[in-house]
Amino acid sequence: MQFSAILTSFALLGALILPPNAWARATGPETSAADGIVLDMAQAFKQRDRKRLSAMLAQVRGHTLEPWAAYWDLAARLDEASTKEIQDFLTRYSGTYQEDRLRNEWLLQLGKNRDWTAFEREVRQYRMNDDRSVRCYTALADYKTNGSDISKLVADTWLSLRDADEGCAAAAEQLLDDKKLDRHVAWLRARLGMESDRLRVATQAVGMLDERWTKTVNTIYLNPGKYLSDKLTALRPQTREFVSLALIRQAYLDPAEAAVEVEKLRWKAQLTQEERNWIWGVIGKRAAQKLSPDAPGFFAKGQAAEMHEDHLVWQARAALRMGKWSQLQETIAAMPEALRADPTWVYWRARALLRQDPTDATRTQARHLLTGIAGVRGFYEQLALEELGQKVTVPARPEPLTAAEKDAARQNTGLTRALYAIRIGLRPEGVREWNYHTNLHQRGGLDDRGLLAAADLACQHEVWDRCINTSDRTKTAVDFEQRFPMPFKSAVLARTAQIGLDPAYVYGLIRQESRFIMDARSGVGASGLMQVMPATAKWTAKKIGLSGFQPRDINDRDTNIAIGTGYLKLVLDNFGGSLPMAAAAYNAGPGRPQLWRGQSGAPVLEAAIWAENIPFNETRDYVKKVLSNTTNYAALITGQPQSLKARLGSVGPCDANVPLLTEDLP
C-alpha cells in the first residue's frame, strides 16, 4: 500500500486534532526520554522519514508503546518489506491492535497486487473486519479462486461508498469486464458521484465502461447547461446516460432550472422512466435542502420506488416542513426496511398516523411504534417517550462494578497502552487502540459489564471522551453518570449562574463539542472545551468585557468557559431564547439559522420539524444531540423528570424588528 494511503487512514480518526504545540507540551515533566523518542517517531511517520524511523526503533524496545513504534517503522516501508519481516511483526505483536492494523494495510497491498493466495491466507486472521476495500478484495479473491457469485455484495458495497476507492472499484471493474455486473450499476455509481459533487466518483465509474467517456463527464461537471444546450448532444453515443448526469449536475447547482430542463420534449422522449424518476428525486432533494416550498411538487413528479433512499429521506423532510402528513406517510412506506426502522422515521410515521386518521386502531398502531423506540438514549427516543405521556428521568444505575471487573479493565494491555498514548499526546493513536479493544463486533469484544468497567477506567484517568463513548455502547446496563459526566462542575455552575444560563444546556453542548477534552482543536481551528473559533473568541471577549484577552488564552479552561458561555448567551438571547436555534448558531454561525427559519410569512414549525430540515448534516445531528444531552443533564442535575419538547418549542420566521447578531460578527 502507498504510504500516503496509510497516512489517510489516520487522518480519518475524527475532527479533533492536537494543537501545534502539543508535541512540545507532551514532553514535559510527565514524560520520559523514551516517551520523547516515541513522539519523535510519530512525527517521523507523518513526515514519511523511513530512515529516521528505523534508526530510532531500537531505542524504544520494551517501552509501553513499542508496538506503535514498530508499526510506524514497518508501515512506512510496507511496499518494500519482505514477507518474513511482515510475518515476524505479526507474530511478535500477536493479539494487539497494531498487528491487526498492519494486516489491514498488508491485505490492501496484497489485493492491489492481486496476490490472492497470500490474501486468502491472511484475511482469515483479520479481526478488525471494518475496511470496505478489504471486504471487496475478499469477495474478488473468492470470485477468482472459487468462481463465487459476488455481484450483489460488490454492487451494494460500491454504491454505499462516499468516495472513490481501490478495492471495491477493482472488484466492480473485474465483474463489469466479465459481464457479471450490470453496466447500469456503474451508471448509478456515476449518478451518486455527480449529485454529491464528487467528480472522481463519477469519472472512475464511467471510465470502467469506456475510458474515453471520462472527458465527457468532466465537461458535464464543469458546465451541464452548455452540454444540454448543444444541438449535437442527442446524436452522441450514450446520450441518455450522459443527459441524466448533466441534469443531475444541473439539479445540484440549480434545482429550479433543472426542473424546467427535464420537462423539455426531447429529454422526455429520450430518457427512461427510471432515469426521469431518479432525476426528479435529485431535483426534489436539492430543493428540499434549499428549504424551497416547491420540493414536494418536484418529488411528486417522480415515483418513489425508483428513487435513491437519500431522495426519500429528503422527500420525507420536505413533506414534514410543508405539513403534508399523507405524503410523509407514503414516503416512509416507500423507504427500505432498514431505513424505516430508524427511530427518526418510526417516530414520524407514528405522528403521521395520529395526524391522518386518529381512530382507535390507528392510535394502537402508533402507540406500538412509539413503544418500540421510547427511551432516554437519543432525540427521537426521548420524543417517543413524551408522546406516550412520560418524561425523561435518570434510569436506575447498574449494579456496582466488582473488584474483579475493575481489575480486568486495568489489566487489559490494549486499554492501558491506549491511555498511555493519550496521556503523552498521541490521542488519535490512543483513541483507535481503545476503540479496537472495546468494540463489541470483534472477536473477544467486551460485554456490557466489560464496557462499564472500561468506561470507569477512562473516567478515573479523566479521559472523558473514552469514558462517554464506551459507556454509550452498552445495550441494557445504562450508567448516566458515566455517559453524562460533569467535569469542572464548580467552574461551569459558577459561570452559568453569573450570566443566567442553564448549566444543563452548557454541559449538553460541551459534551457534543469536545467530550471535555481540554486541548481539543478541530480541523477548522476551533479550540478548547467549548470549541471556540479565534475570531469569535476575540469578538466575544470584547462583547463581554473580558479585558486583556490574547488568542493563546483560549485553551485556558476558565477563559474558554467564559468566552464559550458568553457567546452562547448572546446567540440565545438573539434568537429569543430558542435552544435549538442557538445550538444551530453555535455550530454553523448565527447567519444560517436566520435563513433556515424563513422570512415573513413562513410557517411556524415544531422545532423538531425545523431541526430535521436543517440542510447541513453536521448541524442537524448536532442540534438534536445537544438538546437530547441537555434534557438528560437536566434530569441528572435536578433529580426531576424533564421534557425535551418543552426545550424545543417552535421556530417561526425572523422578526424584522430584531437586529441580527451577525452584523458585526467576523
**Catalytic sites, residue numbers:** 513
Amino acid at 584: A
3-class SS of residue 71: helix
Q: What span, in angstroms and rounded, lies between the C-alpha atoms of 626 and 623?
A: 5
Q: What is the dihedral angle through the alpha carbons of 98, 99, 101, 106, rounded to the nearest 10 degrees? A: 140
Q: Are strands 605-606 and 650-651 parallel, antiparallel or unpaired?
A: antiparallel
Q: What span, in angstroms and rounded, lies between the C-alpha atoms of 45 and 59?
A: 16
Residue whose C-alpha is closest to residue 595's, from 573, 609, 575: 575
Residue whose C-alpha is closest to residue 504's, from 646, 374, 402, 348: 646
Q: What span, in angstroms and rounded, lies between the C-alpha atoms of 41 and 9?
A: 18
CA 273 to chain centre: 34
Q: What is the CA radius of gyration of the chain?
A: 27
Residue 196's contacts (CB-CB under 8 Å, 6 or more residues apart) are 162
Amino acid at 146: N
Residue 521's φ and ψ, nearest 5 degrees, are: -145, 130
Measured at the alpha carbon of residue 429, what is the angle toward residues 428 and 435, in degrees to the nearest 5? 90
Q: What span, in angstroms and rounded, lies between the C-alpha atoms of 184 and 65?
A: 49
**Number of other residues whose CB lies within 10 A of the CB of residue 555:** 18
**Number of other residues whose CB lies within 10 A of the CB of residue 124:** 7
DSSP string, 144-185: HHH----HHHHHHHHHH-SS--SHHHHHHHHHHHTT-S-HHH
Q: What span, in angstroms and rounded, lies between the C-alpha atoms of 298 and 251?
A: 11
Query: Residues, the chain, total?
Result: 666
Amino acid at 638: T
Q: What span, in angstroms and rounded, lies between the C-alpha atoms of 11 and 367?
A: 44
Q: Which helix (H) or strand (E) holds 651?
A: strand 650-651
